[in-house]
Amino acid sequence: MLETSAALLLAHVLADYAFQTDWIVENKHRFRVLALHGAIVFAASWLALGFAGLPLVAAVTALHMATDAAKTRFVPARLWGYLADQAIHISAVFALPAFFASGWAQGLWAAHLPAAAPAAMALAAGALFATRAGGIAVQMLIAPLMERDWSLRAQVNGGGLKGAGALIGHLERGLAFISVLTGNVAGIAVLVAAKSALRFSDAQKSRKVAEYVIIGTMASVGWAVLTGLGVRLMVLGLAPGGIPGLLLP
């Protein structure tokens, strides 16, 4: 059953963070756009399972669409709503397979891919969730701070390369995620220290900027660490011997 969840988790992350455009997010209140997103979830889930488990795929898709519809109509665009939405989606990935007989084992990939394929899917899903989903969460966390203080917004946004902050965040979370998987906890400390040193001169000029950097960095690294811990447990459940060179028990 865990293999099925790994495949569905990858499908969910791809549907929400790789194949969901800004246009879909902004127009999901329209049924046609919501149905388009549902079709992407369905296709990604069915493909990930090796074209098996149609009833399970339909149930995952229906719950995903219902959750997104409720969020779009009734939940404000705040961090708590985003977290609740993702919690429901991910919970469904792990809970629903228990109610259906067909899943990964009946699919095409189970017979033709190596036994480590579900573990690789979990790793890929975790990497994308740590970087892309984490970026959205951190942005939603600090957005109210920026909205309330125009001077902070001017200091943070002025003078830097366009898009550099988001790229730095992705790299930061990706490195923290890998550090957790490999058991290199010291790497996280080095990462935080390096970023602090690089932003030291900016932080000296303004206490607001210093606090902004601390909040953003701690939230970003914390998201990646928690994601890494969850994925590590999942991978070890799929491959108790670990993955040589990357993840050991």
Tell me, yes or no, whether 139 and 75 share the same domain: no
Q: How high is the pLDDT of residue 146?
A: 72
Query: Is residue 215 a part of any domain in this protein?
Result: yes
| Total tally of structural domains belonging to the chain | 2
Residues 136 and 201: their CA atoms lie apart, in Å, by 27
Tell me, yes or no, whether 108 and 6 share the same domain: yes
Query: Is residue 242 a part of any domain in this protein?
Result: no
Tell me, yes or no, whether 164 and 217 share the same domain: yes
Contacts 24+ apart (CB under 8 A), 109-113: 109/7, 109/49, 109/50, 110/3, 110/50, 111/50
pLDDT tens by residue, 13-54: 999 999 999 999 999 999 999 999 999 999 999 999 999 999
Tell me, yes or no, whether 225 and 155 share the same domain: yes
Tell me, yes or no, whether 133 and 221 share the same domain: yes
Query: Is residue 52 a part of any domain in this protein?
Result: yes
Q: How high is the pLDDT of residue 20?
A: 96
Q: Domain boundary residue among 58, 82, 113?
A: 113
Residues 191 and 224: their CA atoms lie apart, in Å, by 12
Q: Domain boundary residue among 113, 137, 172?
A: 113
Tell me, yes or no, whether 97 and 132 share the same domain: no
Contacts 24+ apart (CB under 8 A), 180-186: 180/224, 180/225, 180/228, 180/229, 180/232, 181/123, 181/228, 181/231, 181/232, 181/235, 181/246, 181/247, 182/246, 182/247, 183/247, 183/248
- Residue 94's contacts (CB-CB under 8 Å, 6 or more residues apart) are 5
pLDDT tens by residue, 231-242: 999 999 998 887
Query: Is residue 193 a part of any domain in this protein?
Result: yes
Tell me, yes or no, whether 101 and 132 share the same domain: no
Asked which of 48-52, 75-79, 92-96 is least confident by mean pLDDT, the reply is: 75-79
Q: Domain boundary residue among 89, 113, 137?
A: 113
Residues 241 and 249: their CA atoms lie apart, in Å, by 6
- Residue 175 belongs to what domain range? 128-235
Q: Is the pTM of this model over 0.85?
A: yes
